[in-house]
Amino acid sequence: MIRFQQVSKAYRGGRQALQKVDFHLQPAEMAFLTGHSGAGKSTLLKLICAIERPSDGKIMFNGHDITRLDNKQIPFLRRNIGIIFQDHKLLMDRSIYDNVAMPLRVEEVSENDIKRRVSAALDKVGLLDKARCLPVQLSGGEQQRVGIARAIVNKPLMLLADEPTGNLDAALSQQIMNLFEEFNRVGVTVLMATHDTSLLSTRNYRRLDLYQGQLREIPYGA
Ligand code: ADP
Ligand code: ADP
C-alpha cells in the first residue's frame, strides 16, 4: 500500500526531520508510528498525503510514485487517504453533518449520495443522532469520532491518524482504537502516530519507531 525508500526530509532552515527512512505497509495492515516529540512522526504522515514533499528518496502509494506529483494530481491521492488529527480540526460553526459532508462536497458528489454516505459514516461511529448538533455540543470523545467519520466518508484505502487519542482519557482512547480496528478489519490500511504508552501496551501491532528522524522497527511484544 505504502513504501518509503530512503526518504529524507529537511525543512527550510536546514532542520533534518527524517533521515533515510525505509518501510512498507501491506494493504489492510495496521501499525503504530511511535517516537518522542519532534522525532518526525507528523512529518512522515504529511509526506504520505503530500502536505510536505521529501527532500530525497521515493514514496510509493498504491502502486504510484507520489514523490513528484504535480498540484493537479494531489486531490486524486488525497481521495484515497483519510486523515485524523489530535485536535480533530472540525469547523465549529458548521453542523456535525456538514463537517462530515465536507470531503464529499469538495468532490461535487450529489446531495442524495452525500446524505446516504454521511448517514452511514455517522452511524459507524455511533453519532447518527447528533447530525444536527454543532461541535461544541459534543464531548471531546464524540468530536474525535466526528473527525473519524469525516476521514472515512470517502471510503479511503488508508487512514492516517496523528495522536488521535492525545486529548482523551484511557476509556475513550480505547473506544477510538476500537473504531480504527473495525475499519482495519474491513481492509483499510491504518497508520497511527501515538506516544500513548497505555494504548500501545494493550495492542500488539507492528511498531515503527522514529528516533531523531531515523526509523527502526520494534518487534512484536518488545
Ligand atoms: P513529531 O510529530 O514526532 O513531534 P515533527 O514531524 O512534527 O515531529 O517534527 C520533526 C522535526 O522537524 C522537529 O525538529 C520539528 O521542529 C521540525 N519541523 C516540523 N515541521 C517543521 C516546519 N514546518 N518547518 C521547520 N521545521 C519543522
Ligand atoms: P455504499 O457502498 O452504498 O456507499 P456503505 O455502507 O458500503 O455504502 O458505506 C457507507 C459509508 O461507510 C461510507 O461512506 C464510509 O463512510 C463507510 N465505509 C464503508 N466501507 C468502508 C471502508 N472500506 N473503509 C472506510 N469506510 C468505509
Output the pLDDT for position 34.
96
Those residues with Cβ within 8 angstroms of residue 148's Cβ, 6 or more apart along the chain or in another chain? 84, 125, 164, 176, 179, 180
Q: pLDDT tens across 40-57, in order?
A: 999 999 999 999 999 999
Mean pLDDT of 70-74: 92
Chain-centre distance for alpha carbon 174: 17
Q: What is the pLDDT of residues 11-40, one digit of tens each?
A: 998 789 999 999 999 999 999 999 999 999
Cβ–Cβ under 8 Å, residues 27 and 1: yes
Give the tens place of pLDDT for each residue, 114-171: 999 999 999 999 999 999 999 999 999 999 999 999 999 999 999 999 999 988 889 8
pLDDT at residue 221 is higher than 70: no
Mean pLDDT of 190-215: 92
Reported ipTM: the value is 0.71
Residue 100 has a CB neighbour count (10 Å cut-off) of 28
Number of helices (H), then strands (E), belonging to the chain: the values are 7, 10
Q: Nearest Cα to 38, choosing from 63, 20, 11, 61?
A: 11
- pTM of the predicted model, to two decimals? 0.86
Our mutation pick for probing the ligand 2 site, out of 1, 117, 157, counting the most ligand atoms within 8 A of Cβ, is 117
CA distances from 135 to 78, 94, 114 (A): 24, 8, 19
pLDDT in tens, 84-102: 988 889 999 999 999 999 9
So where are the chain's domains?
A: 2-91+157-218
Q: Which residue has the higher pLDDT, 130 or 76?
A: 130
pLDDT at 202: 87
Nearest CA to ligand 2 atom 5: 120
> In this predicted structure, what is the pLDDT of residue 132?
98
- Give the per-residue pLDDT at 201: 86
Of the chain, the percentage scoring pLDDT greater than 90 comes to 82
Measured from the CB, is residue 68 less than 6 Å from ligand 1? no
Q: Is the pLDDT of residue 184 over 90?
A: yes
Q: Is 11 in the pocket of ligand 1 (CB under 6 A)?
A: yes
State how far the Cα of 84 lies from the Cα of 107, in Å rounded to an integer: 19
Residue nearest to atom 24 of ligand 1 (CA): 11
Number of the ligand closest to the Cα of 86: 1
Atom index in ligand 2 nearest the CA of residue 186 equals 23
Grid cell digits, residue 156: 479511503
What strand order describes the sheet that includes 81-85?
A: 81-85, 158-162, 189-193, 30-35, 206-211, 214-218
**How far, in Å, from the CA of 111 to the mean position of ligand 1?**
39
Site residues for ligand 2, CB cut-off 6 Å = 117, 120-121, 124, 152-153, 155, 183, 186-188
Task: Give 21 Cα–ligand 2 centroid separation in angstroms.
Answer: 32
Task: Name the residue with cell 511498531.
Answer: 207
Residue 222 confidence (pLDDT): 63
Q: What architecture does CATH give domain 2-91+157-218?
A: 3-Layer(aba) Sandwich (3.40)
Select from 56, 61, 57, 51 the least CA-distant residue to 25.
Answer: 61
Quote the ligand 1 centre to 34 CA distance (angstroms): 14
